[in-house]
Amino acid sequence: MTHITVTVDGVTYADQVEPRLLLVHYLREVVGKTGTPVGCDTSNCGACTVLMDGMSVKSCAVLAVQADGSDVTTIEGLSNGELHPVQRAFHEEHALQCGYCTPGMIMAAADLLRDNPHPTDEQIRDGLEGNLCRCTGYENIVRAVRRAAGTGV
Amino acid sequence: MTATTEAPAAELGRARLRKEDARLITGQTRWTDNITQPGLLQIAFLRSPYAHAKIKNVDVSGALQQPGVIAAFSGADFAAEQGSLPCAWPVTPDIVIPPHPPMAVDEVRYVGEAVAVVVARDKYEAADALAAIDVEYEPLPPVLDMRAALEPGSPKVHDAGNKSYEWVFANGDVDAAFRDAPVVVERTYRQQRLIPCAIEPRAVVASWIGEELTLWSATQIPHVLRFALSAFFGIPEQDIRVIAPDVGGGFGSKLQVTAEEVLAVLISRRVGKPVKWTETRSEGNMTIHHGRDQWQQIKIAADRDGRIRGLSVDLLADMGAYLMLVTPGVPLLGAFMFPAIYKMDAYSFKCTGVFTTKMPTDAYRGAGRPEATYAIERIMDELAVELGMEPLELRERNWIKHEEFPYTTIAGLTYDSGNYEAATAKAKELFDYDALRREQLERNARGDKVRLGIGISTFTEMCGLAPSRVLGSLSYGAGGWEHASIRMLPTGKVEVVTGSSAHGQGHETAWSQIVADQLGVPFEDIRVLHGDTQVSPKGMDTYGSRSLAVGGLALVGACDKVIAKAKVFAAAMLEASADDLEWSAGRFSVRGDPDASKTIQEIALAAFAAHGTPDGVEPSLDSDHTHDPDNFSFPHGTHLCATEVDTETGFVKIRSYVAVDDVGVVVNPLIVEGQVHGGIAQGIAQALYEEGIYDDDGNLVTTTLADYLVPSAADLPSYVTSRTETAASNRLGVKGVGEAGTIASTPAVVNAIVDALRPFGVNDITMPCTPERVWRAIQSASTSGGMA
């Protein structure tokens, strides 16, 4: 077991974890952040995307021990009292149906807009290539990211 | 109390933002995998690495020595109680329905079939312990090709042989239609095997407290599952509560009674603790039921002027290793759709269900109708080429004209409504059809290496499953009604209980809109409850684009009953005769005295207090209603796709996609548009990207999302969507919408690719149309006459 200290959504946690424990399982099962779901086991779907020290990562592709000393933001910590512009845009553009990919898609979109505040549609599509949605056909996701960009993230 | 509520604006047709979103965009979700219980144990399955083998011995003793392992079992441990997974659709009297034990006992018949299970404290320990289980197999020959499976001497999947059933339908004189027909076109199309890939993997939690079972499952069908657990596995129905909490997509794949659900129930009972199973994606790709997988032989006869004389279809449908809930019926839903929107003199259909040593197939978005629509829309293009006609002109020559509805098709369905002319005209305009045709000719003339193709799909489909009597005539095991309850709360708020079980469709929003209009109460005052058999005891669940067309009508019936009950109270409260009351916008008024009125909220409070309940009247406004539809619902539309095909690389780019759908009256245009978008994407995915592939030994090689190519945003185009609105003949005028896009888009895309390559002599490309296949089709067209 390895000792780690991780800040998740503003709260610092100190835990003993198995070296093989995935960050997503640490978040879900140790910290209780079930807002971050698991969609695949090969880092293809992106449902588990969180921000680690401000950068988006697929938390199924990170070991909990690699997050030692990091500041992690999940979908549960993205809004600060009021909805984050990307969350609000996803609602307003009907950019989610079942909602399972949504936490990862929103986190990836937030990171995309941090990197490129005014992306073209093509840049949005390329930027979200690592996040799969089976419901929306992506049309409204692209619209939502465009809307969030317009509101200034 | 005086009336304070303003009559709300009509809700039907409003683009209401969804009530569901608040929790989904903030991570406050209730996926089954999030469920915890005191003492919860995790289970992991050991699965067969062989497509076909005898099980000689299973030794789980090694697993029991591993840390954290509470129990381990083989199929033999459950042999006495696990029974057989149900098939609810015995399509012919002589159908072969082999026993399907949830955990294999003597023989495995596909890679991934469960052979043993470990119960452990956590999922890592459970997965570790699987390696300590020893299974002795005696490999048997796999059966992987449907056509070879039917040849004499083929290895057998089951002792009874590899044919499950043969189902036939015929109407009109087919021989006469083909005899002396000036033009006959015959083609064989391949519907590749697809894997549904809802983004939420399946998960199940089973918990017994005494004799009471609670089962949480990522399922589309909590009600059907509860019935099945009782009817087929001997658990008293009244002791079972099934909960489908937030469910992350289904597309048919969660319309199933699965081995894992049944085994979780049995294992939890055996170990006396709640248990959870959550599949990994690779486990899911192997063991969630697959879709499509047919060979379609289709033959069409026409007169020289393009009039269709007859159609003949001969299908081979891969059942996989077993028949699951509706496996054999799926291709037969297509039987009625091959004639599509076209008039003809005669039609014959035959389907042979074939066993192979692969994962069973079952319902996947569209279930039978996408397959049929693909074949007819593809061969219409081929017929147009043969006749030298414009493909849209050929379609118009044959389709049912708007003034001819209701129209009974050669397949025996009565289409209640439609306007193919209107949808097509609108689609052509949005697409700029004539300009694209001109550009296509120009590119062809100058020998452009990137060719332009235009694909047409003038589709219809049958959905809103379904009139119970029709299902009965097709030997289906259940009815097709839907149930709704309305509970008028004393404070004037409303609880709506629906038997539909949404998993992304937005029922909480759309049902609120319908009830708001019917009862004249604010949208915000309504809460929709679903997905828990203790809250919603009666239902037929969500699949087959049925929820609005059947469940929505059940809501209207339940609202009627509330209003009828309220009228009695209103008459007493207003000291008027019920005959003098008028109902409008949530209020009963005395005719000619508009100041004398009571709102439904006031009446609800009065019924709750019950002080002035008229004699002989029940002090309640609550109601239940079960709606059984008279007919299916027949959405239709015209989808047009323009592709640019690079003839040097085989790469296909969708340049534009226009979808004009007619789904009748629209409750919420945002939700409808979203359903169309997602449907189109799934159909494009079949055309261009996805295929579930088994190797020669029967191993699934597309177990991950790196191998099974669910498209990303970067792989898909932007869609132009629009609607025409031809009201269906039900009280709301609504049709289903969930599957329309998927049904329409696959042939639109492939027709466009073939259209682009027609000058090279290409007349077919097998799906998915990967760059390699497209390139090879071009290369071989000159030597093989165009088939690839």
- Domains of chain A, first to last: 2-78 (3.10.20.30), 85-151 (1.10.150.120)
Task: Determine, for residues B681 and A138 on separate chains, whether the beta-carbon distance falls below 8 Å.
Answer: yes
The CATH number of whichever domain residue B38 belongs to comes to: 3.90.1170.50
pLDDT range class, residue B2, cuts 50, 70, 90: very low
H-state helical runs in B153-258: 174-178, 222-233
pLDDT range class, residue B5, cuts 50, 70, 90: very low
Q: Are residues B104 and B220 in the same domain?
A: yes
Does residue B552 register a pLDDT over 50? yes
Q: Choose the mutation target among A38, A60, A94, A142 for the interface with B, i.e. most B CBs under 10 Å.
A: A94
Does residue B418 register a pLDDT over 80? yes
The DSSP output letter for B329 is: G
B449 pairs with which residues across the strands? none
Q: Are residues B655 and B617 in the same domain?
A: no
Burial level of B265, CB count in 10 A (0-12/13-18/19+)?
buried
Kindly give, in sequence order, each residue whose CB lies less than 8 Å from that of residue B275, ignoring residues fewer than 6 positions away.
B40, B41, B42, B43, B119, B205, B206, B207, B264, B267, B268
Task: Determine, for residues A39 and B201 on separate chains, whether the beta-carbon distance falls below 8 Å.
Answer: yes
Q: Are residues B130 and B272 in the same domain?
A: yes
Among A33, A102, A140, select the one facing B24 at the smallest CB separation: A102
CA dist list (Å): B294 to B290, B375, B544, B602: 12, 11, 20, 59
Domain membership of residue B521 (yes or no) is yes
B contacts of A133 (beta carbons < 8 Å): 199, 713
* Chain A with chain B: Cβ pairs closer than 8 A: 179
Domain membership of residue B185 (yes or no) is no
pLDDT range class, residue B497, cuts 50, 70, 90: very high
Domain membership of residue B663 (yes or no) is yes
In this predicted structure, what is the pLDDT of residue B783?
A: 65
In this predicted structure, what is the pLDDT of residue B422?
A: 98
3-state secondary structure string across B300-313: EEECCCCCEEEEEE
Q: Are residues B452 and B309 in the same domain?
A: yes
Burial level of A122, CB count in 10 A (0-12/13-18/19+)?
exposed
Task: Determine, for residues A134 and B682 on separate chains, whether the beta-carbon distance falls below 8 Å.
Answer: yes
Does residue B782 register a pLDDT over 90? no
Across residues B133-137, what is the average pLDDT?
98
The residue type of B327 is T
Whether residue B678 lies within 8 A of chain A, CB to CB, comes out as yes
Domain final position from B610, B627, B644: B627
Question: What sign does the CA torsion over A88, A93, A98, A104 have?
Answer: negative
Which SS3 state, helix, strand or coil, does residue B205 take? strand
Kindly give, in sequence order, each residue whose CB lies less than 8 Å from that of residue B95, ignoring residues fewer than 6 positions away.
B164, B165, B323, B328, B353
Instruction: Answer for the pair B247, A36: CB distance below 8 angstroms, yes or no.
Output: no
3-state secondary structure string across B491-537: CCCEEEEECCCCCCCCHHHHHHHHHHHHHCCCHHHEEEECCECCCCC
Q: Per-residue pLDDT tens for B428-471?
A: 999 999 999 999 999 999 999 999 999 999 999 999 999 999 99
Domain final position from B598, B627, B656: B627
Which SS3 state, helix, strand or coil, does residue B590 take? strand
As separate numbers, helices (DSSP H) first and strands (DSSP E) second, chain A gives 6, 5
Chain B residues 24-43 within an 8 A CB cutoff of chain A: 24-29, 31, 33-34
Whether residue A153 lies within 8 A of chain B, CB to CB, comes out as no
Q: Are residues B366 and B452 in the same domain?
A: yes
CA angle B645, B651, B654 (to 5 degrees): 60
Q: Which residues of chain A have pLDDT under 70?
A: 152-153
Nearest C-alpha of chain A: how many angstroms from B157? 31
Whether residue B282 lies within 8 A of chain A, CB to CB, comes out as yes
In this predicted structure, what is the pLDDT of residue A150?
A: 86
Q: Are residues B650 and B519 in the same domain?
A: no
Across residues B238-261, what is the average pLDDT?
98
Structural domain boundaries, residue B108: 33-140+202-247+254-279
Q: Are residues B547 and B426 in the same domain?
A: no
Domain membership of residue B168 (yes or no) is no
Q: Are residues B347 and B359 in the same domain?
A: yes
Whether residue B674 lies within 8 A of chain A, CB to CB, comes out as yes
What tokens appear for B630 in the block?
């008279």
Complex-level ipTM: 0.98
Across residues B187-200, what is the average pLDDT?
98
Q: Per-residue pLDDT tens for B708-720?
A: 999 999 999 999 9
Percent of all residues in chain B with a pLDDT value above 90, rounded to a whole number? 98
Across residues B465-494, what is the average pLDDT?
96
Domain membership of residue B173 (yes or no) is no
Domain membership of residue B156 (yes or no) is no
Q: Are residues B51 and B111 in the same domain?
A: yes
Does residue B49 register a pLDDT over 80? yes
Domain membership of residue B475 (yes or no) is no
Does residue B234 register a pLDDT over 70? yes
The CATH number of whichever domain residue B638 belongs to comes to: 3.30.365.10
Across residues B12-25, what is the average pLDDT?
98
Task: Note the pTM of the prediction, 2 decimals.
Answer: 0.97
Q: Are residues B594 and B548 in the same domain?
A: yes
Domain membership of residue B180 (yes or no) is no
Whether residue B22 lies within 8 A of chain A, CB to CB, comes out as yes
Phi-psi region of B352 (alpha: psi -120 to 50; beta: other; left: phi over 0): beta
Domain final position from B611, B627, B643: B627
Phi/psi at B452 (5° precision): -105, 135
Nearest C-alpha of chain B: how many angstroms from A150? 19
Using alpha carbons, select from B493, B500, B432 the residue that is nearest to residue B657.
B432
CA dist list (Å): B460 to A23, B309, B411, B621: 47, 20, 13, 40
Q: Are residues B268 and B301 in the same domain?
A: no
Q: Per-residue pLDDT tens for B349-380?
A: 999 999 999 999 999 999 999 999 999 999 99
In this predicted structure, what is the pLDDT of residue B788?
A: 43
Phi-psi region of B544 (alpha: psi -120 to 50; beta: other; left: phi over 0): left
Residues A134, B680: Cα–Cα separation, whole Å? 11
Which SS3 state, helix, strand or coil, does residue B342 take? strand
Q: Are residues B715 and B733 in the same domain?
A: yes
Across residues B538-545, what is the average pLDDT?
96
Instruction: Answer for the pair B439, B642: CB distance below 8 angstroms, yes or no.
Output: no
Tokens 């792989």, residue located: B715
Q: Per-residue pLDDT tens for A22-42?
A: 999 999 999 999 999 999 989
Residues A123, B288: Cα–Cα separation, whole Å? 34
Domains in chain B: how many in total? 3
Which H/E stretch holds residue B430? helix B420-431
B contacts of A131 (beta carbons < 8 Å): 712-713
Nearest C-alpha of chain A: how many angstroms from B786? 32
In this predicted structure, what is the pLDDT of residue A80?
A: 83
Task: Determine, for residues B251 and A134 on separate chains, whether the beta-carbon distance falls below 8 Å.
Answer: yes
* Closest residue of chain A to B503, computed from CA coordinates: A98
Chain A residues 90-119 within an 8 A CB cutoff of chain B: 90-92, 94, 96-103, 106
Longest dimension (CA), chain B: 89
